Structure 1
Amino acid sequence: MKVLAAMSGGVDSAVAAARAVEAGHEVVGVHLALSRMPGTLRTGARGCCTIEDSMDAQRAANMIGIPYYVWDFSERFKADVVDDFVAEYSAGRTPNPCMRCNERIKFAALLEKAIALGFDAVCTGHYASIVLDENGNKELHRASAWAKDQSYVLGVLTAEQLEHAYFPLGDTPSKAEVRAEAAERGFSVASKPDSHDICFIPDGDTRGWLADRVGAETGDILDRNGDVIGSHEGAHAFTVGQRRGLRLGMPADDGKPRFVLEVRPKDNTVVVGPKEALAIAEIAGSRFTWAGQPQANPEVPFDVEVQIRAHADPVPAVAVLRDGELVITPETPLDGVAPGQTAVIYVGTRVLGQTTIDRTVSAVPVSA
């Protein structure tokens, strides 16, 4: 099999590429340049996709003995990830840029180019597994090491993309084993820390970064009854579940802290309320996809587990396709879910599909 190994410059993708070679595949390494101004991406241990990372990837490719290239995906990354991030926040939603990057860059733009060049698959260092069902169809499953499982961020992959995806680390028991293997191979990235945060926000100040692009305009902070209890300097700076930074001059009747429950960009208002009101009884989204073969008869309610963050625990739920939306009702309320987040549904270890959350229903009525 002819394999294109996406090499980020980290330890996982380096070991994945090496394993692909040892499995007998013809492998070519590629690093994605996602910014024409590398200084606008994180540097050092906290980042990804920087010049430093490109050099780390090249050193690993040289040691493995495979061809290595750097591909400029900066324009596509800006349009599909950065601009999308700004647009989502401007609409009062909480986007996941890593999810969009996997969906639109690594397994759309990159895979499209790879297939055009005659490659059979794209290999990455994600911790997830691909399993064949009884009919030979590919399914996406959790990795064997649940502590490092990354199937959530791959939930956006479609059946066609799974046909050309390759995850050599899926059966690895732990990240420590991958680091030990990298050290044995002599890779300089063996002890390199994992990347964190948003790569295209250099200093980690998301609020300031957004203010420069969306602008800051004073607006009202409302309680659940619509009464004005404070003001803010830009709705984009708030996310559902946030407690700090509200600076409310009027304390709650019960004296308890209040949390952001809703962001309304159209009228530049923020709604706050008690922590209990963050409990969500239902989520729904019209932008949904199936990972592999779709659910049979999705208009009939079916049992799943739902996960709303990369490191959240899955929660038993019932899902149904209704009026063009994937509607998910958790067995117990979810905490602090915001429109724009991604809900990934599982059946056992299998990733069944995902939806971008468009709306939520609170478990606590306004009069409570």
Structure 2
Amino acid sequence: MSGQGEQENGRAGAADAPHVPVLLAEVLEALALKPGGRYLDGTFGAGGYSRAMLEAAPGATLLALDRDPTAIAGGAGLVAAMAGRLTLAQSRFSELAAEAERFAMAPLDGIVLDIGVSSMQIDQAERGFSFRFDGPLDMRMGREGQSAADLLNEGEEGLLADIFYHYGEERRSRAVARAVIEARRKAPLTTTKQLADLVAGIVWAEPGGPHPATRVFQALRIAVNDELGELVAALHAAEAVLVPGGRLVVVTFHSLEDRIVKQFLAERAGRAPAGSRHAPAVSMAQPTFSLVNRGPITASEAEMRANSRARSAKLRAAERNAAPARPAEPGLVALAGIPASQPRRRHRA
């Protein structure tokens, strides 16, 4: 799958770091920024997109969200520098419509979502996102709720196998789940090194490939943070709060997330899958978006050479029309071929 390896998605470093986010120029172009517009950055991170958006659109105002309190605290300097044009709020991007209303920013002229874990989080050993550093098995973006250690030490074998298989596409998911159960009978799994070493003893390392534990770590992170459910909710929220002509821009780094975004935008743009005698075509609801680009935008060769994080990035964008927003469809994750968060039933390959 795309995005394997400990991908760091461009939301990296301190808010004033000289870091260029992935696909920055492409994001700004897709947003079609205009002076005085109202915008939302659903994944503030280190503020790279937020800063660039405000600099590119004189007089524009921006609401930036992040579920990580560390990111919000780190953005204080940028808030001050923007002199009232930038508002930061600790919130999940699934709640972007409610947050836009709360801060009197609705309706919005544009929304950008940069999906995944930031390198700022990966680089902090105590956050437990990475096996590059030994730290506690945490992985909670918002520092609340069930941790990765809780899930590993309390989850049933079938549940863990499902998570590793569906969210990490780990072919040896059953074997890894069994090994976790055996290991925790002796002592709880509490550190990233413990888990990485355990998986490395079961999953074969491919020459020149990612670390054997990459897919398991990804799967746990997605499950702990309900990342797929959050993404689906954010897409529906964006549809509800964008002004006609407003742009939605989403940058993904893994095929799981990209599949959901692609499915949502294609369906909302009126592109129904072809029917057959087994599954006849159904009448489509009125389109609410039009696609800005037919396929995903990817990084240039130059950007990929300069920044390895850009290799798996895909940008999809769409423009809102005047049609009424549709009711939320929780089944979108399943429609994209991915079970709901923390699936409980195993599906064989």
TM-score, with length taken from structure 2: 0.31
Structure number with higher strand proportion: 1
TM-score, with length taken from structure 1: 0.30
Q: Greater RCO between the two (CA within 8 Å, min separation 6)?
A: 2
Structure number with higher helix proportion: 2
Point out the structure with max Rg over C-alpha.
Answer: 1
